[in-house]
Structure 1
Amino acid sequence: MSVRRVMGIETEYGISVPGAPSANPMVLSGDVVTTYAAARGIRRARASWDYADEAPLRDARGFDMGRGTAHPSQLTDEWADDPTMANVVLTNGARLYVDHAHPEYSSPEVTTPRDAIRWDRAGELIMREAVARLASLPPGVNLYKNNTDGKGQSYGTHENYLMSRRTPFLDIVKHLTPFFVVRQILCGAGRVGIGVDSRTNGFQLAQRSDFFETEVGLETTLKRPIINTRDEPHATADLYRRLHVIIGDANHFDVANLLKLGTTSLVLGMIEDGWLQRDLTLQQPVATLQRISHDPTLRARVTLASGQELTGLDLLEVYRDEAQAWLDARHGGALDPDTAEVMHWWGTTLDRLRRDPMEARGEVEWVAKLGLLEGYRSRDALGWGDPRLKAVDIQWSDVRAERGLAHRLAATGRMTRLVDEAAAAEAMTRAPGDTRAWFRGALLERFPDEVVAASWDSVIVEVAGQRQLQRIPLMEPLKGTRDQVGDLVESSTSIGELLTRLSAPA
């Protein structure tokens, strides 16, 4: 009963070539992946992704979508999605690949929001290194950690949370939908423009909100739902489900990222425990999602199915109060440090936003971006439709330290950092020690020539003298940790010896 659970973040990065609008983004994305992999000594023929257990069309509501009716973007279990064959596993346990014409970094499994920040920031550094290595080669690719190009296209930052399979999915939908509608107040990344194509002038809290069209569904690129129903646990299916969350923004701010992961994990804990009894169902969730996003004053109101009206801040405080009561009941106020950190920032941030949103400009990303943009508007008398403001919005997310405005704010101390740069840099090559990601990364580091492919729940290896490849299952996300198998892996002189020792009776 805490904030701790298996979780992770996957982010598609915006890609562009200045002065070459017709450049092929899929080929360029492939260049990003292969350039980084080559620099790190990862051979493309090895350490590739294993698609055997992928099931992207399995729906949590109890059925499978037919492949003939699925949009091609949903068929993420096919190589055809990436003709560049740029799809590798890294020694930090992450996956780096091309997805829908964007380079994507999927972090390794972690167990705390703070670690999620650390390995997400490692992904930023990986993309920055790739850009630097490509800088001397035409055409000069650049990457952006954002979620829309401002012209009608959106690309995702998805979260993943391991949950108990026993939890009824309808309970997840009921209690999580209202929370997701207002969560953007804490973790929206901010955006210039209203509407999917930014045709209406203005500023909004979140980059993704205008792109959602329905409440519940399997799709991720069309008819985007607030609650995604993909049922692909990447673990023992009888025990676990993986909640695939597609509604969040890509965050540069540590506190916003912590709150995105941490508050969601706590709400999921309450749902699993059957704690939430109050019906917070919203009237018109999709319309309310967008209304909240379009109002930086935070005065927009949400209407519950009961007819009660609240502000978004009010509803977030209801969830926080429920979380505090739940934790008090289950732990008597004695919280582990990870849970205490999330609860501290949840309460502190809500208090600051209620007094004056600008008080939270060091923690809440949309507030900091709005403050910066208002400075430009005041100095140069700019309207919200001025293209210079849209350029600032894009530059905010530039991965280059010297160009990205979010990075420059951090460098001047105007962003609250929870994870320092050295820890993030170490996470570029080192996997988390307390999940199966450690075993995956350790095999790639210690036996790189023997690892043929990997996925979240298995590693395929080639053993000298054996004709068939060997699959090592990793169906339990909390097994294969450094404490459990570290000595075995580090003392084995070959992959064959390691397999023999792993299969020996305890």
Structure 2
Amino acid sequence: TLLDAVQATRHVSRDTTQRWLVDLENGRTIAALDVQWRLHALATKHLGGIEEETDWLLESWRYTLDALPHKPEALLGGVDWISKKWLLDAFRESENLSWNDPWLQSLDLEYHNIDPERGLFFQLQPAKRIGEWNHLVRQKDVTRTPPVDTRAAGRALAVAAFRKANRPYVINWDSIACESHDCLVMGDPFQTYLEETDRFVRQKHEPPANEPPL
């Protein structure tokens, strides 16, 4: 068992040596990849062969774990940090920049731009197998149609309502807010919060008590 799962995640994400060692409750350390391999083995044992989609996920997981230490370039376009680091490394070397250069910070932001015309991710040529996966799983309708059984459904309802009313809003993973500090908390990722969101949106559309309705 990990001593502190949150701290371990932070440590791994900031370990540029890519050793990725994490602490266990028994005082020992273990490589994060070994943890992943153990989890993969358990998932394969209990979930393998049940359905095609699950088997595809298990195979994608296995391929990623195998490629990480041996051939990370095979994951370009599929693993986000590998893709972004490759782009930044290439640009930094071509322009002879240091990692502290503001130019790289700007590129870092542009990598995540979801506009296909501007986002650097969309300019990346993925590795062959990753490209095939991306083509297989990407569906145009998911950019406008959220999952129906998660809080994404509630977030989508709020975005549509606030955009239609031309109201300023803030959307986080676990909350929505409109114009003020009042917010609707969505703590459970597997609830839709559709009824709660509908009430919240209607409340925000109602005029203040001292203001006559339009």
TM over 0.5: yes
2:15 is aligned to 295
Q: 1:419 aligns with which of 137, 141, 145?
A: 137
Counterpart Cα distance in 2 of 1:459 and 1:315: 38
Q: Which has the higher helix share?
A: 2
1:403 is aligned to 118
Unaligned runs of 5+ in 2: 161-191, 199-214
2:34 is aligned to 314
Counterpart Cα distance in 2 of 1:295 and 1:455: 37
Counterpart Cα distance in 1 of 2:54 and 2:34: 22
Q: 1:310 aligns to what SS in structure 2? A: strand
Give the superposition deviation at 1:302.
0.9
Q: 1:343 aligns to what SS in structure 2? A: helix
1:377 is aligned to 92
1:389 is aligned to 104
1:78 is aligned to none
1:340 lines up with 2:55 in the alignment: yes
Contact persistence 1:298–1:313 (CA under 8 A):
no
1:456 is aligned to 194
Give the superposition deviation at 1:384.
0.9
**Quick one: higher RCO (CA 8 Å, sep 6+), 1 or 2?**
1
Q: Which has the higher strand share?
A: 1
Contact persistence 1:313–1:350 (CA under 8 A):
yes
Deviations 1:127-159 (CA, angstroms, capped at 9, x unpaired): xxxxxxxxxxxxxxxxxxxxxxxxxxxxxxxxx
Contact persistence 2:11–2:20 (CA under 8 A):
yes
Distance 1:372 1:433, change over 3 A: closer
What is the TM-score normalised by the length of structure 2? Answer: 0.61
Deviations 1:163-222 (CA, angstroms, capped at 9, x unpaired): xxxxxxxxxxxxxxxxxxxxxxxxxxxxxxxxxxxxxxxxxxxxxxxxxxxxxxxxxxxx
Give the superposition deviation at 1:357.
2.5
Counterpart Cα distance in 2 of 1:430 and 1:292: 33
Matched AA of 2:86: G
Q: 2:22 aligns to what SS in structure 1? A: strand
Distance 1:428 1:380, change over 3 A: closer
Give the superposition deviation at 1:432.
5.9
Deviations 1:456-492 (CA, angstroms, capped at 9, x unpaired): 24797xxxxxxxxxxxxxxxxxxxxxxxxxxxxxxxx
Matched AA of 1:381: N
Matched AA of 2:42: E
Counterpart Cα distance in 2 of 1:362 and 1:297: 22
Contact persistence 2:2–2:22 (CA under 8 A):
no
Distance 1:430 1:367, change over 3 A: closer
Matched AA of 2:72: P
Distance 1:281 1:377, change over 3 A: same
Matched AA of 1:299: R
Percent of pairs with identical residues: 29
Matched AA of 2:46: W
